[in-house]
Structure 1
Amino acid sequence: MMGALSLAYPFSRVTATKVSEAQAKPNNGFPSFLPKQVHTIKDPFARNLAMRIHRLPVSVKFSENPIMSSCVKPLMIQNKANPVVLLHGFDSSCLEWRYTFPLLEEAGFETWAFDILGWGFSDLAEKLTSCDVVSKREHFYQFWKSYIKRPMILVGPSLGSAVAIDFAVNYPEAVEKLVLIDASVYTEGTGNLATLPRLIAYAGAYVLKSVPLRLYANYLTFNDISFSTSLDWTNIGRLHCLFPWWEDATVDFMISGGYNVISQIRKVKQKTLVIWGENDRIISNKLAVQLHCELSDAIIRQIPDCGHLPHVERPASVVKFIIEFVQRETKLVNQCVSAE
């Protein structure tokens, strides 16, 4: 699946600062805060990335105490180049990037994977007042302000694209470029789910984390994977659902109305790369063309024989497109400087 990737990132590694080994690699395998079921995961890439998950304190207006927020930190901090920051899709986690993250690091990018508030492995034992779009945006901004502190190349797959667009429009100073992958940006929030009584919403959340539903989602998402692989990927994809606060956070997001960024798409000013799997059975690749047309400055790349999550199914292709996107812009800037 991984394939070979020998493309070099255009920025020198000499300008990078190495993160201390104590921070980068937990000493005793998996972090203690992860659900114990992490030990049953077989995928070596998921296991390796899980061992690198950290929790960092993030202060927000809607919580009295800092939220211990989960992410995968880079091994190298670039002093000159801006970082790549990876979001995940709906009700997922940073483990979604298990195949692509190491390839981005291999290519020389300073790479972060961030868990969106309410999903992933952040500590929400202290019940939040809300887990809606505004709270998710505020949480991500405070994380960026505290730890990243530079304009970023922000990557969002599926619903993560809506998160990325919402963030880029509200905090343009924090985002240099956008990469949107099989973007779920044309749905009007959670729709009728927002009107459900809480009791029914909790029943829906219970079904959402069930193994049969997750297996079916994998069937729709990926092209031609074995049952054993699908089962392991199901265990990876629902690991964060095993926290006791997951239901509360999910229901709160559901009844809050969710993301509706249709009106924000034309407000995006950042250069954008749109990536799409040609065989996406969840979101038609026809919407890739529509999104490309509505964005003010975008290029589009499609991946054949690929479903809804190219960064899981075709990670080398995704990284190749990201490298080309960054190199293209760097060359254009250099040409302009030379012309002057």
Structure 2
Amino acid sequence: MIVGANNLLLLAARTASPWMAAPPATPFAPNPPRDGGTISEPAANWAISRLLRAGVEMDTPALRASVPTTFLRPSPSEERPIALFLHGADFSCLEWRFLLQQLCEEGVDCVAVDWYSGGWTERGQITAALRASDAQPWTLVRQHLLAFWEQQLRGRPVVLIGASLGGAVAIDFASTHPEAVEKLVLIDAGGESYKAPPPDTVAAFAKPVLAVKGLFQAVQARLPDDASRIVSLHRAEPGCYEASLAYLESGSMARRVGRERIQQVAQPTLVVWGTEDDILPLSDAYAFERDLQHCVGVREVPGSGHSPHLDQPEAVLAHLRPFVAQR
């Protein structure tokens, strides 16, 4: 099934090596905050001014299309260490603004990509493919990330860094495509547990859950503060609701990533956790240490909640620097 594909681009993508067929990235400007205000935070404005978009050519049994994909890559380099960041559920690559700004200045080729659950990457074609086939969201998410890695990152092995639900996506990607991932970092990651009911319950109550969530988000989008504006900036994009519904109706990532999948991760893995995480408990960090084949250790961030990279970025950077730079 071809959904909105450019046939000539797809032909080029199939007849050349993946990273030779990558369409060029162009600057991307998101819509302004819905409350009519402005964002004053310097790190957010630094990141927003550097957003890029490129078509990612997918050629899978469920989806053959060019998916407009949004990402941050402030300082591309073929020689520097390369780190790929995956945001949490219903956020965007802006989640990584504090870490990226500092690591880029220190010589790391940092890339943060908007995957299906958030940001400005277009979701319509993926959602249509899910509705028209028996594919699962995590499969198409993984295939989209693989195509992005092949085409925009030219197949270079990365240090993969995932937070919250993005951590579960990172586990799935690293265990399925070990050739793409040199090392892994999990920050308050899903996988050992999820703050959600069992998958069958999630699927059954998808619409009521989204209705409540939508009311909360509508209020949050109109709060006159930087944090609310930044986290809400992408939520007016087309297809957000439909993508969330498709994901919840599938039963969630819990159907794909659990202890068995975690035990298949062979890469050296660093686990970073906020000690005051009220969504995923600190005990999950030590469950990861138990189940990962090669956990290099758990690093606690005292006093931090579920997003230590936002709460205390300097503390997280202190843990990341030696791990990312080590060859």
Range of TM-score over shorter length = 0.7 to 0.9
Q: For residues 103 and 69 of structure 2, what CA distance do their matches in structure 1 show?
A: 22
Q: Which amino acid aligns with 1:120?
A: G
Q: 2:287 aligns with which of 281, 287, 290?
A: 290
1:141 aligns with 2:146: yes
Within a 5 Å distance, the mapping from 1:161-200 to structure 2 comes to 161-187=167-193, 191=199, 192-196=201-205, 198=207, 200=208
Asked if the contact 2:83–2:324 (Cα under 8 Å) also holds between the matched residues in 1, the reply is no
Distance 1:56 1:302, change over 3 A: same
Q: 1:275 aligns with which of 265, 272, 280?
A: 272
The alpha carbon displacement at 1:315 in A equals 1.1
Where do 5+ consecutive residues of structure 1 fail to align?
1-21, 216-226, 331-340
Q: For residues 214 and 84 of structure 2, what CA distance do their matches in structure 1 show?
A: 30
Q: Deviations over 1:56-111 (max 9, x none)?
A: 111123444301101012323132x4410111011110010111111111121010
Q: 2:214 aligns with which of 192, 206, 230?
A: 206
Q: Deviations over 1:126-147 (max 9, x none)?
A: 5632271111111011100111
Q: Which amino acid aligns with 2:74?
A: P
**Other-structure match for 1:59:** 57
Within a 5 Å distance, the mapping from 1:125-136 to structure 2 comes to 125-126=124-125, 128-130=128-130, 132-136=137-141
Q: Deviations over 1:232-261 (max 9, x none)?
A: 212211211111211111111111122121
Q: Deviations over 1:252-271 (max 9, x none)?
A: 11111221211211111000
**Other-structure match for 2:6:** none
**Other-structure match for 2:156:** 150
Q: Deviations over 1:158-195 (max 9, x none)?
A: 11110000000110100000000011212367731212
Distance 1:281 1:78, change over 3 A: same
Q: Deviations over 1:278-329 (max 9, x none)?
A: 12122111211111111111111111121111111111221221112235x4
Q: Which amino acid aligns with 1:166?
A: D
**Other-structure match for 2:249:** 255
Is the partner of 1:117 in helix, strand or coil?
A: coil
Q: 2:165 aligns with which of 145, 159, 166?
A: 159
Q: Deviations over 1:205-238 (max 9, x none)?
A: 52363335x89xxxxxxxxxxx97xx42122112
Q: For residues 37 and 201 of structure 1, what CA distance do their matches in structure 2 show?
A: 25
Is the partner of 2:234 in helix, strand or coil?
A: helix
Q: Which amino acid aligns with 1:272?
A: T
Q: For residues 324 and 117 of structure 2, what CA distance do their matches in structure 1 show?
A: 31
Q: Provide the identity percentage.
A: 31
Q: For residues 43 and 53 of structure 1, what CA distance do their matches in structure 2 show?
A: 16
Within a 5 Å distance, the mapping from 1:83-122 to structure 2 comes to 83-122=82-121
Q: Which amino acid aligns with 1:35?
A: N
Q: 2:302 aligns with which of 298, 301, 304?
A: 304
**Other-structure match for 1:12:** none
TM-score of the aligned structures, taking structure 2 as reference length? 0.80
Q: For residues 230 and 161 of structure 2, what CA distance do their matches in structure 1 show?
A: 20
The alpha carbon displacement at 1:196 in A equals 3.2
Is the partner of 1:268 in helix, strand or coil?
A: coil
Q: For residues 123 and 206 of structure 2, what CA distance do their matches in structure 1 show?
A: 23
Distance 1:211 1:186, change over 3 A: farther
**Other-structure match for 2:226:** 232
Q: Which amino acid aligns with 1:207?
A: L
Q: For residues 184 and 123 of structure 1, what CA distance do their matches in structure 2 show?
A: 24
Q: For residues 164 and 242 of structure 1, what CA distance do their matches in structure 2 show?
A: 26
Is the partner of 2:119 in helix, strand or coil?
A: coil
Once superposed, what is the RMSD of the aligned Cα atoms?
2.5
**Other-structure match for 2:21:** none
**Other-structure match for 2:319:** 321
